[in-house]
Structure 1
């Protein structure tokens, strides 16, 4: 199971980032709070001392005026406290420019308290003592707390993510295990997952409901293909038997009657046999596509056979020596043959299934013939590629490979109904069937638009297969 970008990884990252964010926030708040608290404590301690020193200074001056000998000024008392008390002109000019109140210097290592009273400036300065070492210790304590909080957050994230993702992992394993089983087999999801009351239970119930719908759909399709197999096989067998009887009776007819009907009977026999083979292939494709057997295919021979059938049926007319780019053919009359320009290399082989390849070739030719605007169809076969193109553009917003999507036929465009995309002689299944057949053959189908001739180009790319390999196969 992929761990990168998983829910468990995202939960771990979220908890770790949350712990780091909280640790940084609380650490900064603690340090800032400590500075404010330190300033408050220094002021709380220094202001009463300042008042006492100022009073001592006032009394000392008064005692000096009365001629007393043992006099203690405020400066003497401050020195005993290892502080410094200045008054009047003793205050440095730099301090004189400061406002009244408490001021700190050197990263709060020293302080100065200024008070102006009766026109005299008093200053009390000293060291803050243990505030800075305590701040460093507090920073270390906060760092340890942040790391401990991060470790606890990661531990909680691991425990919670395991509890939260375990049902998802079980659901994923159950779904992946069912994908590896034989197609068409269905196993219910574990009941404890389906009965959960959280989002995992909702997802499991949705998957179970969707699977039930698919199971019913596959069952209906299986029954339908079985019925089609039974219903089509019987009439096609009857038709083949009837055509064999007609062929025997036709041979016994005297005169030109038998010779006149022989080509028609031959065409009916060939078409019925092709229908039977195509029906078997399509039913096998619907039921067990993995059972399709591939063989070496002579692509040129298969295309020549199909072109001859359409030519005998009056659907196509082979061009002579005229180059594809010379002149412009007039659109043929309704029901008339389309001019085909074929450029096919010899000895082009591929690996595939005969009937599926015939479906690809026939539907591409029929589509080009039906939707050409200039009465021409161009076919080119090279090793590894089959190209079929015809005059006329497919609208950009039209998904031509979707089932049931049809474009306007040649006659409808000539009558001025090109905007009516729904009214078409086609069923809208040909190109969809071509795409599906190419996927099962391992071929790639591409659609292009050639400018400035406004032509639609379909290319079938297939892996080349040499004739020597075909003989060995």
Structure 2
């Protein structure tokens, strides 16, 4: 199928249209010149015939000269000719009855040329029927012109066809040469090394574009290098204190009595340090290219249950129940750290923003759904749903009532956080090639779905 948005095809189409317009201009000029010549020849022939008829027959109301020439004194001419004739040769369609040997009478469509002419005090209308043989001895030029007219028309048709064909071939060949530098630039940009040095020296617009892309690539490479160094340095510097904290919490827990009330706090310290270490690992994975990551088969059910268990403390003082629905054990080829971070953020949001009702986590063979009966997301916030540092506050309109959330309502739902949760989840989905969708529930709350197949 022809791609009309292709630069090469646009060039070919433009060149073909230009050739067509040029041919149309030449054809129009030819037709105009042919018409003017024919009118002048007809006019000269009829005036000649008028002079010859007057010399031969004297003053007559109608002169008939074979073949096809008839001259009327103005008041003897047909009314239709009197109404339209002027000093310019005009043309009208007429039908002639032609006698044949076998078929009797045959009708033929042709043209009638006519014009008005004043000679002293007398006016005449001179007519000539086209296509009738003219006596060569009287006016051979008109006869020759009418014979050559069809030859000129056929020649012009062939010239137009050849011109368009040449234009199509030339535009096809020249467009390849014009587009070739762009294709070379495309291949250079798509290559892994992105080496544009062979194109940056070109003096054309392609060289300017190649230099701009090369400069931009260098800046991006420097930026990515700085980001990777920063991520690596931060992870290295944080892992050491986290390891110390986890080791210290284990030592402290081992020295406490079995029934000590401090055991819960030491376990919490160790678990939090371990979770932070996993978060750092997940962020490091996000900084790598997706194709460079291994994706082991990971149990979705196990990660969901572990995250629900880890975040249950958020429901401690709420009348909210949590239910995990899965008909069987489901798995996906994904890094467990990334899946854990994505599901953890969705479940944490559902627990934090739901004061009453339930949170249902459904797993099937194509998606993971986290449904809650909580606050929901107002329509005004939907365009910023996955933006960084955007959080639900009383500044946003309540979708159901169209009024702002009250400060009291906002206090009940004020939670710790930076507004990065959904942004991180969306980034993880893009990194893994999965899809994240949101749907508002009719009874209130939200449903976030992760499509992993």
Range into which the TM-score falls when normalised by the shorter chain: 0.7 to 0.9
Tell me the alpha carbon deviations over residues 8-50 of structure 1, each in whole angstroms, 9 at most, x when there is no partner: 2222222122212222332133123211211112213432442
SS of 2:359 mapped into structure 1: strand
Residue 377 and residue 432 in structure 1: after superposition, are their counterparts in 2 closer, same or farther (change >3 A)? Answer: farther
Provide the residue aligned with 1:190 in structure 2: 197
Alpha-carbon distance in structure 2 between the residues aligned to 1:88 and 1:430: 102
Would you say the 8 A contact 1:109–1:129 is kept in 2?
no
Matched residue, 1:67: none
Deviation at 1:84, TM superposition (A): 5.8
| Equivalent of 1:400 in 385, 389, 392 | 385
Aligned residue for 1:244? 250
> For residue 291 of structure 1, what is the aligned residue in structure 2?
293
SS at match of 2:153: helix
Distance 1:109 1:430 in 2: 86
Residues 371 and 74 of structure 1: CA distance in aligned 2, closer, same or farther (over 3 Å): closer
Q: What is the TM-score when the length of structure 2 is the normalising length?
A: 0.76
> Contact 1:194/1:204 (CA < 8 Å) preserved in 2?
yes
Q: Does 1:315 align with 2:314?
A: yes
Q: What secondary structure is seen at the aligned counterpart in 2 of 1:273?
A: helix
Alignment equivalent of 1:371, drawn from 348, 353, 362: 353
Question: 2:165 pairs with 151, 167, 170, which one?
Answer: 151
The CA distance in 2 between the partners of 1:298 and 1:108, in whole Å, is 88
**In the aligned structure 1, how far is the partner of 2:91 from the partner of 2:309?**
106
- The root-mean-square deviation of aligned C-alpha atoms, in Å, is 3.8
Q: How does 1:429-448 map to 2 (within 5 A)?
A: 429-441=420-432, 443-448=434-439
Distance 1:434 1:51, change over 3 A: same
1:233 has 2:216 as partner: no
CA contact (8 A) 2:321 2:357 kept: yes
Partner of 2:322: 341
Deviations 1:279-319 (A, max 9, x none): 223223323543243223151x43333333333xx4214xx
User: 1:394 touches 1:456 (CA, 8 Å); kept in 2?
Assistant: yes
Q: How does 1:155-174 map to 2 (within 5 A)?
A: 155-174=169-188
Task: State which drifts further: 164-173 or 7-16.
Answer: 7-16
Please say if residues 320 and 358 of structure 2, whose CA atoms lie closer than 8 Å, have aligned partners that are also in contact. yes
| Deviates further, 343-352 or 208-217 | 343-352
Given that 1:108 and 1:132 are in contact with CA atoms closer than 8 Å, whether structure 2 keeps it comes out as no
Cα offsets for 1:353-403 (capped at 9, x unmatched): 33223212321122123333x444412324233323232232324322122
Say if 2:189 and 2:195, in contact at 8 Å, map to a contact too. no
User: Given the superposition, is the C-alpha separation of residues 8 and 269 from structure 1 closer, same or farther in structure 2, using an over 3 Å criterion?
Assistant: same
Shift of 1:346: 5.5
1:30 aligned residue:
30
CA-to-partner distance for each residue in 1:152-211, whole Å, 9 max, x for gaps? 3234323432332121111011112x2xx3xxxx443134x2234443233223322221
Displacement after TM superposition at 1:227 (Å)? 0.4
Task: Write the distance in 2 (CA, Å) between the matches of 1:454 and 1:237.
Answer: 43
Q: Distance in 2 between matches of 1:89 and 1:283?
A: 104
Structure 2 CA distance, aligned partners of 1:437 and 1:122?
95
Structure 2 distance, partners of 1:375, 1:89, is: 107
| Distance in structure 2 (CA, Å) of the matches to 1:75 and 1:305 | 116
Tell me how far apart the structure 2 counterparts of residues 50 and 426 of structure 1 sit (CA, whole Å). 108
1:116 Cα deviation from its structure 2 partner: 6.1
Partner residue in 2 for 1:469 = none
Pairs within 5 Å for 1:298-309: 298-299=300-301, 301-309=302-310
Aligned to 1:69: none
Q: How many angstroms apart in 1 are the aligned matches of 2:319 and 2:340?
A: 20
How far 1:228 moved relative to its partner?
A: 1.2
Q: Secondary structure at the match of 2:261?
A: helix
Please say if 1:460 is aligned against 2:450.
yes
Q: 1:353–1:377: structure 2 CA closer, same or farther, 3 Å change rule?
A: farther
Structure 1's 417 and 206: CA in aligned 2 closer, same or farther, altered over 3 A? farther
Residues 436 and 110 (structure 1), Cα distance of their counterparts in 2 relative to 1, 3 Å cut: closer
Determine if the alignment matches structure 1 residue 415 to structure 2 residue 412: no
For residue 450 of structure 1, what is the aligned residue in structure 2? 441
Shift of 1:241: 1.9
SS at match of 1:386: strand
Q: Look up the match of 1:387.
A: 370
Distance across 2 between alignment mates of 1:49 and 1:273: 117
Which of residues 188, 210, 213 is equivalent to 2:216?
210
CA distance in 2, matches of 1:293, 1:84: 97
Separation in structure 2 between the aligned mates of residue 161 and residue 362 of structure 1, nearest angstrom: 55
**Which structure 1 residue ranges, 5 or more long, are not aligned?**
62-72, 318-335, 464-473
Q: Which residue of 1 aligns with 2:47?
A: 47
Instruction: Return the offset for 1:430.
Output: 0.9
For the residues of structure 1 that align with 2:188 and 2:67, how far apart are their CA atoms? 79
The 3-state SS of whatever aligns with 1:259 is coil
Distance 1:408 1:154, change over 3 A: same
Alpha-carbon distance between aligned partners in 1 of 2:423 and 2:339, rounded to the nearest angstrom: 14
